[in-house]
Every structure is written in structure tokens, then in C-alpha cells.
């Protein structure tokens, strides 16, 4: 007998928990259709109790949505380069992803989505926040929307993955390289989602350096306003991790933030990232 699938929103802004699906066994066509619709409707979806989700099975789930990314600056697993182990040891001060961002926006073809699996979680803390960038755009005034339409912004890993950037810091259980000369790519400030057709903000504090054709100083006041607006609590949800939980978020319209509030404890996650298309 097949299990019934239930979808329960976790906030009014975005996010839903899906029960009745076992990712370790693969998905039926009907289940996949349900998951894809929930992904578009809620922008980030969660699954509990996915015990022993192996790297192979996690990759297989990601490949239902597209090809998989190999991170250019952070080493993946030796036998699974597409699977990045995100580990914070008790003695580590900084975590990975500890600031609002959209994964891989620094690439010419940024990520479609990211699939994060909890192997080991701290006894408290370590939640992940998400923010809906479609809702953030729609809450802007008509005048601001008009101002931003047609603008592009420069994205690069050169700051976050530089010698001083949090993502390139030495960690006992993660291997990262510095990206001082990382390439720059221009993406529209207002992105049209390729599947839903809805418009959303497509900038983020980690990887957006400036508006195209402007200096960093000229860009800063408006970028700071947009960053503050985009992380307003009314656009967000918060996910409390348990071992064997999975989160799958849409980087085309979401920010996320891994909280670093569990000093002296260990957190071990595995991430698979699905490649996307060029933003328009």
C-alpha cells in the first residue's frame, strides 16, 4: 500500500514539510510530480526521518531536477565530488553559510536548488533561516520596482571566498581554496523565475558586489536598503534540524542563512547542488 503524501506549510511566507515520501527508495512519477509542485509553490521543502540517505541516493534525488554542481572552491567527497560535506567541529569558530546568501550566484549559470541532509546536529541551535525573494520584490513600491527594472548587478566569489572571507577559512573537516581572482558575472537585479514566471529580487549580501556600471560606493546605499528589506522577518521561515532531515530550496528565489549559535558542538551536513540556467 502506498503512503499518503501530506504537505504542511511551516510559515505564511514560504516553506512546507512533506511527509509520506521516502527519499531513500526513490520517487514514483506521481510523488515526483507532487514534490515538484510543492517546490515551486513553497520555494523550500523539508522531509523528516530520511534515515541512511546515502550520497548516491541524495545525488539521485537531485538528478531528478537537473545536472549536479561540483563546487569550484570547496572540495566534495573523494568518491562523490558533487556531494559537499559541511562540517563544523566543536573547536571551529566560524560556520559555513553563516550569512544571508543564494548558493552559487557567483557563477554564470547559478544553482537551481540545493539539497541539504542532516547527518549530525547539535543539541541546540544550528537552525537555517530562509527568505522569499519573490515576496520581497512584490512588497516594494511601484516606484522602486520601476527603478530596479532593467538594472544588472555584478556577482563574484572574490569576497566571500577570499583570504578574509568566511567561506575560505581553514576548517579541520572541510577543504577550501581561496578565490582572490574569481570571475565576475552580471545578473539582473529583478529575476524572472524560469518555471513560475514570477519576478523576484536576485541580489545577495555574500556575492553581489555592485550594480553594473557603478562603483561599490555608489551602489552601497541602494544595495544596503535592498538587503535589509529582503531579510525582513515577514518574508522568512525557520527550520529546526533533526538528524536525517532534508531541506531542498530554490536558489532562484530564496536566500538562506545557517545560524552559528551552538558553540562547542558538532554539526555535520551533506549538500548536493542542482545546476540552473542563466538568470533573465
Report all structural domains of the chain as residue ranges with CATH numbers, in order of start.
6-275 (3.60.130.10)
| pLDDT one-digit tens code per residue, 242-278 | 999 999 999 999 999 999 999 999 999 999 999 999 9
d(CA 206, CA 220): 13
Distance CA 128, CA 239 (A): 5
CA distance 128 to 117: 12
Q: SS3 for 259?
A: coil
Q: What is the rounded CA–CA span in Å between residue 175 and residue 71? A: 11
Q: Catalytic positions, please?
A: 101, 103, 256, 271
Q: What is the pTM of this model?
A: 0.94
In terms of DSSP bridges, do strands 236-239 and 208-211 run parallel, antiparallel, or are they unpaired?
A: unpaired
Q: Render each residue's pLDDT in the chain as its tens digit; 280 residues.
A: 357 999 999 999 999 999 999 999 989 999 999 999 999 999 999 999 999 999 999 999 999 999 999 999 999 999 999 999 999 999 999 999 999 999 999 999 999 999 999 999 999 999 999 999 999 999 999 999 999 999 999 999 988 775 565 555 566 667 776 667 889 999 999 999 999 999 999 999 999 999 999 999 999 999 999 999 999 999 999 999 999 999 999 999 999 999 999 999 999 999 999 999 999 9
Beta-carbon contacts of residue 9 (< 8 Å; ≥ 6 apart): 15, 16, 42
Residues 6+ apart with CB under 8 A from 264: 90
The CA radius of gyration of the chain, in Å to the nearest whole number, is 18
Separation CA 276–CA 278 (nearest Å): 7
Cβ neighbourhood burial of 190 (10 Å; 0-12, 13-18, 19+): buried
176-179 LR contacts (CB < 8 Å, sep 24+): 176/73, 176/74, 176/75, 177/73, 177/74, 178/73, 179/72, 179/73
24, with CB counted inside 10 A (0-12, 13-18, 19+), is: middle
Amino acid at each position: 500500500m502506498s503512503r499518503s503524501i501530506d504537505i504542511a506549510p511551516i510559515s505564511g511566507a514560504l516553506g512546507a514539510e512533506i511527509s509520506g515520501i521516502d527519499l531513500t527508495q526513490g520517487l514514483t512519477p506521481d510523488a515526483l510530480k507532487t514534490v515538484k509542485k510543492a517546490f515551486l509553490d513553497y520555494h523550500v521543502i523539508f522531509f523528516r526521518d530520511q534515515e541512511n540517505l546515502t550520497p548516491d541516493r541524495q545525488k539521485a534525488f537531485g538528478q531528478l531536477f537537473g545536472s549536479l554542481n561540483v563546487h569550484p572552491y570547496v572540495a566534495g567527497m573523494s568518491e562523490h565530488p558533487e556531494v559537499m560535506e559541511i562540517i563544523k567541529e566543536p573547536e571551529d569558530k566560524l560556520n559555513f553559510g553563516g550569512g544571508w546568501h543564494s548558493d552559487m550566484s557567483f557563477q554564470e549559470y547559478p544553482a537551481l536548488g540545493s539539497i541539504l541532509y542532516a547527518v549530525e546536529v547539535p543539541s541546540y541551535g544550528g537552525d537555517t533561516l530562509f527568505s522569499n525573494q519573490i515576496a520581497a520584490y512584490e512588497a516594494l513600491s511601484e516606484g522602486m520596482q520601476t527603478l530596479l527594472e532593467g538594472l544588472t548587478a555584478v556577482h563574484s566569489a572574490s569576497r566571500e571566498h577570499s583570504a578574509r572571507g568566511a567561506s575560505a577559512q581553514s576548517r579541520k573537516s572541510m577543504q577550501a581554496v581561496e578565490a582572490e581572482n574569481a570571475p565576475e558575472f552580471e545578473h539582473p537585479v529583478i529575476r524572472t523565475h524560469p518555471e513560475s514566471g514570477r519576478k523576484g529580487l536576485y541580489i545577495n549580501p555574500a556575492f553581489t558586489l555592485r550594480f553594473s556600471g557603478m562603483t561599490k560606493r555608489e551602489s552601497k546605499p541602494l544595495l544596503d536598503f535592498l538587503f535589509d528589506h529582503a531579510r525582513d522577518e515577514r518574508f522568512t521561515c525557520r527550520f529546526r534540524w533533526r538528524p536525517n532531515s532534508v531541506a531542498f530550496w530554490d536558489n532562484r528565489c530564496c536566500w538562506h542563512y545557517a545560524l552559528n549559535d551552538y558553540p562547542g558542538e558538532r554539526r555535520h551536513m551533506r549538500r548536493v547542488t542542482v545546476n540552473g540556467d542563466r538568470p533573465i
